[in-house]
């Protein structure tokens, strides 16, 4: 069972503001686990803000910039939920590991935004647009360093997992930047990029939670596999939402990836269709390869790609990964935790933003 948690008024206010992602929301109503999960999320939020705080006011503002902009906090939530599979449940080590996962995620966002020259993140100006590239990069590095300090407090096993995960994050970003070689299959290359760049951190979240929650090795393996598969499904769903226009709820402008020439799955499948002789697909390829700096050109390209069979096939691939994530949960005992994990995997590919 989870540890009893005594919350101060400030932390209770954080609890009240937490909005669980679709698929996890039923947890809030569960009498056994709901309060512990919400209170655990509040503890993570407090530790996150404490861990990135700095006495220098400029560094402090830069470090808090993305953390205070919000986000679904899916990764730390997965740590907490996974811990409930063990005898120890949510405890101080689980809270620390959940904080490490979210700090690592935040750090990569600072770096990603510099590489993409993105103007907005979570509805706010990105750090490099406020303080410049150097401050943004170094702030991401600083947050990673602070995450490493927390990891050291948890012991060598936690440090090793963090290091392996960060290695995969870097490899995913590098492989995306360099692109596939002539001998590589473009779609397989892309899926490997997504596995490293996105899914690796969700897999680590599942491992951290089961380890420090006291679950056995079998559960650790299950949650690692689940995190990997649901992470890929999540990213592939984002790919499709970028061109269907349904991502409005997340605050992301439809077609952002197209404008930035990001090779998402719908685009890769469209190029395959064009190469196979599909004249309409070839016409849409010309649209998306053109200058999309104007809103009119972008809207035309988005509408054309959304109507292509390639986009529906991309949805089908995302749903396959979601279904595989649910199947990987089969060894777990029936109950609230397993149901919440399965519901989240389904919600990933049925959401509207």
Of 138, 157, 176, which closes a domain? 157
Q: Is residue 187 part of a domain?
A: no
Residues 6+ apart with CB under 8 A from 128: 110, 113, 114, 117, 135, 136, 137
Same structural domain, 36 and 142: yes
Confidence at residue 4, expressed as pLDDT on a 0 to 100 scale:
45
Asked whether residue 36 is domain-assigned, the answer is: yes
DSSP, collapsed to helix, strand or coil, labels residue 6 as: coil
Cα gap 329→189, rounded to integer Å: 26
Give Cβ neighbours of residue 259 (< 8 Å, ≥ 6 apart): 292, 293, 298
- Structurally, how many domains does the chain consist of? 2
Quote the distance between the C-alpha of residue 332 and its chain's center.
Answer: 23
On whether the CB atoms of residues 169 and 193 are closer than 8 A, the answer is: no
| 34-52 vs 92-116: helix crossing angle, rounded to 10 | 60
Domain annotation covers residue 166? no
**Degrees, nearest 5: CA angle 306-311-312:** 110
Residue 340, domain member (yes or no): no
Whether residues 138 and 258 fall in one domain: no
Residue 195 DSSP class: I
152 with 220, same domain: the answer is no
* CATH code of residue 226: 1.10.600.10
Asked if 147 and 21 sit in the same domain, the reply is yes
Mean pLDDT by 10 residues, the chain (353 residues): 51 65 76 86 91 90 83 89 95 97 93 76 76 88 94 95 95 92 93 95 97 96 97 93 66 77 93 96 96 92 95 96 97 93 90 64
Same domain, 15 and 152: yes
Q: Which domain holds residue 144?
A: 10-157
Q: Does residue 5 belong to any structural domain of this protein? A: no
Q: Which of 289, 285, 279 is CA-nearest to residue 304?
A: 285
256 domain-assigned: yes
């Amino acid at each position: 069972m989870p540890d009893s948690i005594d919350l101060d008024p400030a932390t209770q206010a954080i609890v009240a503001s937490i909005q669980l992602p679709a698929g996890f929301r039923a947890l809030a109503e569960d009498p056994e686990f709901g309060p512990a999960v919400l209170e655990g999320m509040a503890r993570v939020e407090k530790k996150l803000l404490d861990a990135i705080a700095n006495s220098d006011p400029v560094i402090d503002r830069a470090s808090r910039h993305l953390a205070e902009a919000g986000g679904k906090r899916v990764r730390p939530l997965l740590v907490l939920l996974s811990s409930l599979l063990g005898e120890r449940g949510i405890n101080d080590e689980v809270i620390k590991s959940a904080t490490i996962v979210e700090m690592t995620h935040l750090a990569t966002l600072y770096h990603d935004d510099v590489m993409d020259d993105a103007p907005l993140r979570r509805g706010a100006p990105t750090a490099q647009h406020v303080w410049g590239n150097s401050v943004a990069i170094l702030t991401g590095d600083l947050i990673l360093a602070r995450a490493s300090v927390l990891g050291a407090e948890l012991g060598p096993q936690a440090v090793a997992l963090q290091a392996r995960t960060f290695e995969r994050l870097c490899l995913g970003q590098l492989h995306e930047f360099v692109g596939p070689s002539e001998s590589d299959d473009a779609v397989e290359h892309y899926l490997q990029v997504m596995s490293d760049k996105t899914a690796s951190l969700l897999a680590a979240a599942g491992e951290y939670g089961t380890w420090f929650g006291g679950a056995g090795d079998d559960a650790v393996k299950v949650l690692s596999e689940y995190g990997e598969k649901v992470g890929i499904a999540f990213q592939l769903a984002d790919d499709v939402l970028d061109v269907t226009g349904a991502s409005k709820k997340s605050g992301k402008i439809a077609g952002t990836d197209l404008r930035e020439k990001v090779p998402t799955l719908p685009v890769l499948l469209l190029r395959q269709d064009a190469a196979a002789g599909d004249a309409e697909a070839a016409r849409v390829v010309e649209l998306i390869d053109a200058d999309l700096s104007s809103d009119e050109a972008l809207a035309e390209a988005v509408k054309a790609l959304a109507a292509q069979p390639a986009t529906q096939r991309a949805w089908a691939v995302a749903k396959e990964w979601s279904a595989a994530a649910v199947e990987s949960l089969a060894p777990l005992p029936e109950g609230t935790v397993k149901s919440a994990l399965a519901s989240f995997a389904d919600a990933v590919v049925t959401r509207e933003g």
